[in-house]
């Protein structure tokens, strides 16, 4: 990844560099404020297997194997020597510039990557520019349309911001707000535990504990469909979901595309955890795992909730929440 990223950083910088050097041409450009609209694509052989969705989206936004369009603004005052000195990366080597009456050509080599720039001027207020580049397992093409805006240069640039990985990480934990439908299913060792625990209990407790076990077994053996309205913020949604009344979730932590939270259980010795994974803006899933002490035994239960987007409108009635887990009193 090191070489392609260096290649991008230089190429973007070169756009403004060669814009300014055009001031020395026979056909002069107007000094002042300019607008550049560029289309760029980087074709790179990158191993994407196992790359988190947020990182893949970030690379795509930079132009990796995807065409991106940017709008940039810059000022030029005609001081070419200073602009070249300021913009030229320290590790780059340049061949002599080639000036024509209405054209400009340059070639740079930076960290093993070569970029070639060609500019055609059709008026003092307009020019076109192409940049091509090659490097190790990577090639780049950019075409820009550049237009004069005004003689006044504002203090703040209106250029499109460079893609932020933090922003993509945040977006990767959001889904469409609105009406969602979900199903949940469970697996557990509770039947086996029941067969061992009930005979050990005092006779006056067996019926009550058996009823608790039966209720939980019935819950586990049936799939559940339910509806919910969510804001789209998955981290907040996970915290507000009533997945287990006995074990409210603690502050979640982020691991790639997954949001993980542990429960703080009221029942001594019980544990609960939940992992929410976003597949895309219309699908996410939650995996839960719970252990509950039952005398000398431990009940384990795991569940999978699969949820999908229905519509942006939430019905005023009919919302149902997932069945919450419960503790079992097996004190002997």
Which tens digit of pLDDT belongs to each residue from 198-235?
888 888 888 888 888 888 788 777 767 778 888 887 87
Q: Residue 2: its pLDDT value, please?
A: 37
Given a cut of 90, is residue 124 above it in pLDDT?
A: no
The terminus-to-terminus CA distance of the chain in angstroms comes to: 61
The encoded tokens of residue 137 equal 């397992």
Given a cut of 90, is residue 136 above it in pLDDT?
A: no
Q: Which of 276, 281, 272 shows the shortest CA–CA distance to 326?
A: 272
The encoded tokens of residue 149 equal 């805006």
Q: Which of 215, 209, 212 shows the shortest CA–CA distance to 197?
A: 209
Q: Could you give the 3-state DSSP secondary structure of residue 154? A: coil
Rg of the Cα trace of the chain? 31
92-101 long-range contacts, CB within 8 A, separation 24+: 92/10, 97/21, 99/24, 99/25, 99/26, 100/25, 100/26, 101/25, 101/26, 101/27
pTM higher than the cut 0.75: no
């Amino acid at each position: 990844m090191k070489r392609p990223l260096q290649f991008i950083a230089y190429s973007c910088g070169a756009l403004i560099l060669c814009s300014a050097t055009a001031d020395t041409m026979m056909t002069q450009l107007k000094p002042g404020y300019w607008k550049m609209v560029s289309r760029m694509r980087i074709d790179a052989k990158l191993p994407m297997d196992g790359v988190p969705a947020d990182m893949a989206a970030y690379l795509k936004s930079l132009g990796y194997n995807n065409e991106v369009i940017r709008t940039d603004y810059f000022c030029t005052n005609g001081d070419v020597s200073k602009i070249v000195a300021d913009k030229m990366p320290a590790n780059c080597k340049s061949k002599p510039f080639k000036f024509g009456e209405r054209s400009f050509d340059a070639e740079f080599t930076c960290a093993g990557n070569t970029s070639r720039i060609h500019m055609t001027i059709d008026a003092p207020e307009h020019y076109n520019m192409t940049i091509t580049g090659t490097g190790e397992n990577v090639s780049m093409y950019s075409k820009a349309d550049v237009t004069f805006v005004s003689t006044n240069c504002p203090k703040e640039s209106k250029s499109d911001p460079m893609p932020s990985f933090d922003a993509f990480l945040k977006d990767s934990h959001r889904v469409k707000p609105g009406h969602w439908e979900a199903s949940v299913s469970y697996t557990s060792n509770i039947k086996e535990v029941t067969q061992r625990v009930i005979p050990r209990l005092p006779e006056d407790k067996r019926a009550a504990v058996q009823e608790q076990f039966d209720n939980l077994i019935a819950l586990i053996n049936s799939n559940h469909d339910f509806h919910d309205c969510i804001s789209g913020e998955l981290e907040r949604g996970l915290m507000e979901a009533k997945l287990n009344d006995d074990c409210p979730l603690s502050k979640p932590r982020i691991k790639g595309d997954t949001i993980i939270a542990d429960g703080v259980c009221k029942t001594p010795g019980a544990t609960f955890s939940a992992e929410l994974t976003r597949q895309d803006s219309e699908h996410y899933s939650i995996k839960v795992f719970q252990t509950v002490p039952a005398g000398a035994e431990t009940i384990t239960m795991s569940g999978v909730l699969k949820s999908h987007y229905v519509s942006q409108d939430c019905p005023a009635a009919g919302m149902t929440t997932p069945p919450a887990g419960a503790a079992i009193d097996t004190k002997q």
